[in-house]
Structure 1
Amino acid sequence: MQQSDIQLLVLDIDGTIAGKSNDIREPVIRTIHRVQKQGIQVAIATGRMYRSALRFHEAVGSTLPLIAYQGAWIQDPKTQTLHKHWAVPKTMALALLDYFETPELRSLLSVHFYIDDQLYVREITPETKAYFERSGIPAIAVGDLRSTLATEPTKVLALSDDTDLIGSMLGSLQKQYTPAELYLTKSVATFFEATHPAANKGLAVKYLAEEVLGLKPENVMTMGDNFNDLEMIQYAGIGVAMGNAPEEVQQQAQWVAPTVEQDGAAAAIAELLL
């Protein structure tokens, strides 16, 4: 793989280019802008809401469509063109809600439905409050989330500070639903996420690279820090995992960067592209 082959760099946000500060630090921004001056295009691929990801898209100076909601929503902020939108089928959203509201789980989980780039919740829990403070998006409390399902959700998320619970739920639901029915993942240890089966970052990056830009996988470098980044790390000619990524994610990458708090994205770009 020649470094000169890379024409597209795709970056995750949380845990990759933004750490505890919830902002992109100056060395990372500087390095991204240097690589753009070499003619390499830069795109964002995140599990975040489209609205929540926009400021990062603008900060890196991307001119490409923005990949949000794990790839379920691909929109060009410049033209407002919505390239792709895959929603969770209503039957699946209802089945997940039934599962989350079983007596043993209900009090342990905060459940989020994302519909038309708005965030709907049962009630405002401490976890939800922390989430919307970080994302900058207010939550709309509706009591029964079934009342929102006149429109199918782009993504369903369940939060719990109990990381073992999130892990066991993921394992349990992966046995119940095939990858052809739902895409299930963890974006951080406390977030269980479900999207349409056609929505993951790997398929979204493939669409952006091949359909929009006419590139091949070997022209793409991707960088991420968690299980929801696995597909795009595996797709790319150069897949980079952060030093703060789980071991299983690091094992799938061609290169492991320092951690997000060590400006690992800047180190990876400098080493592999500059």
Structure 2
Amino acid sequence: MEYKLLALDLDGTLYTSDNRITKNTRKIIQEARKKGLLVTLATGRNYPSAKLVAKHLNLELPIITNDGAYIINHLDDKPLFEKRIENEIIIEIVEVLLQYNLNFMILHESSSFGNFNYLGWRMFLRFFNIHSFKTLLAEKSKYRRMSNDKIIQYIKNNKTKPFKIFVDGNHEQINEGRLELEEKFKDKIRITNSGYGMEILSLNISKASGLEILTSELGFDKKEVIAIGDSFNDLEMIDYVGLGIAMGNAPLEIQNKAKFVTKTNDDDGVAHAIDEFFLKIKA
């Protein structure tokens, strides 16, 4: 099979544990692009953050952000697809999250708000290098932190519907909150996990649905696509494409779904997979 498109997850996949994209990985990506492989991003991150990465890698295709809820051409900021959650549902979800004392961030295309502490130590320690610190600052500048009692009123006054809710907090409380949300909104939302926290999306939205839209736009068959990821929000994407690859640092459940398991994100796993399944074939 000749592969034409590569979709890359970011955190835990393209990025190392200390939030770098290695020189070798960048080099291999550019070599593959020169030999005809198209590259896009498929990430749970919001658009401003993903756009910085796309520019850093000089990518040209539309990118899949917010776990498939927002697909956009970052070169001219023109959306290809968007699927938002109704504000009435957002309010009900927030009320459940507050009952479990969970921290959350509600994401729009270029801004976000919530009670999440963006510059807390857990978040800060993820950003060790200049590129990632710039990403953190770019995201932080678009984020508005509020007290719990003001959030619901803000949603009521804000006519723009969001794409996603990111939830952080105690694992036991997250699991309890998830069970209640899945029971209450089972025909309205999809809940997944990025490895960093719980993510709430519109029903049937995933990185796989995003790739289906993008491949249709490009005129490719899904069998011509490689996707690489490491977490539970990558499962559908890995299962959907012709060659689904799991990172060596991925949980076993993700690895078992994949057709191939590459090296870890700290051992240039993305570069190794590209070399194995594209560059050697093109040599």
Distance 1:255 1:11, change over 3 A: same
Q: How much has 1:171 moved relative to structure 2?
A: 4.3
Query: Match of 1:121?
Result: 114
Unmatched segments (≥5 aa) in structure 1: none
What does residue range 71-150 of structure 1 map to in structure 2 within 5 Å?
71-102=68-99, 105-106=100-101, 109-122=102-115, 124=117, 126=120, 130=124, 135-136=136-137, 137-138=139-140, 139-143=143-147, 144-149=150-155, 150=158
> Which stretch has the larger CA shift, 136-145 or 194-203?
136-145
- 1:209 is matched with which residue? 215
Aligned counterpart in structure 1 of residue 273 of structure 2, from 256, 260, 268: 268
Preserved contact between residue 110 and residue 128 of structure 1 (Cα < 8 Å): no
Compared CA separation, residues 135 and 171, structure 1 to 2 (3 A): farther
Report the structure, 1 or 2, having the larger helix content.
2
Q: Over aligned residues, Cα RMSD in angstroms?
A: 2.0
Q: Determine if contact 1:46/1:70 at 8 Å carries over to the other structure.
A: yes
> How many pairs does the alignment contain?
263
Output the CA distance in 2 between the equivalents of 1:115 and 1:128.
23
Contact 2:46 2:109 in 1 (8 A): no
**Deviation readout 1:141-182 (Å, 9 max, x if unpaired):** 23222133222221111112x33443454344334332x411
Deviation at 1:20, TM superposition (A): 2.4
Deviations 1:205-231 (A, max 9, x none): 111111x10000111000001011111
CA distance in 2, matches of 1:181, 1:239: 28
| Structure 1 residues 95-149: Cα deviation after superposition (integer angstroms, max 9, x where no partner) | 21111111xx21xx21111134212123637368638966331131232221332
Structure 2 residue matching 1:250: 3-state secondary structure: helix
Alignment of 1:191-202 (within 5 A): 191-202=197-208
Are the aligned partners of 2:96 and 2:181 in contact in 1 as well (CA < 8 Å)? no
* CA deviation string 1:54-104 (max 9, x = no partner): 1211222211001111011111011221111111112221121111111xx
Alpha-carbon contact 1:86-1:198 (below 8 Å) kept = no
Distance 1:37 1:154, change over 3 A: same
CA distance in 1, matches of 2:84, 2:205: 9
Tell me the amino acid that sits aligned with residue 171 of structure 2. Answer: T
> TM-score, normalised to structure 2's length?
0.86
8 Å Cα contact 1:222-1:233 kept in structure 2: yes
Specify the alignment match of 2:168 in structure 1. Answer: 159
Unaligned runs of 5+ in 2: 128-132
SS in structure 2 opposite 1:153? coil
Whether contact under 8 Å (2:96, 2:177) holds in the other structure is: no
Seen in structure 2, the aligned counterparts of structure 1 residues 258 and 172 have a Cα distance that, compared at 3 Å, is farther
Specify whether residues 116 and 57 from structure 1 end up closer, same or farther in structure 2 by C-alpha distance, changes over 3 A only: closer
Q: Is 1:183 equivalent to 2:190 in the alignment?
A: yes
Q: Which residue does 2:247 correspond to in 1?
A: 242
CA contact (8 A) 1:29 1:59 kept: no
Does the aligned pair in 2 maintain the 1:170–1:185 contact within 8 Å? no
In structure 2, do the counterparts of structure 1 residues 202 and 123 end up closer, same or farther at CA, with 3 Å as the change threshold? closer
- Counterpart-to-counterpart distance in 2, 1:32 and 1:96: 40
The reply to whether residue 62 of structure 1 matches residue 59 of structure 2 is: yes
Q: Counterparts of 2:97 and 2:277 in 1: how far apart (Å)?
A: 43
Residues 221, 129 of structure 1: alpha-carbon distance in 2 compared, 3 angstrom cutoff:
closer
Moved more, 191-200 or 65-74: 191-200
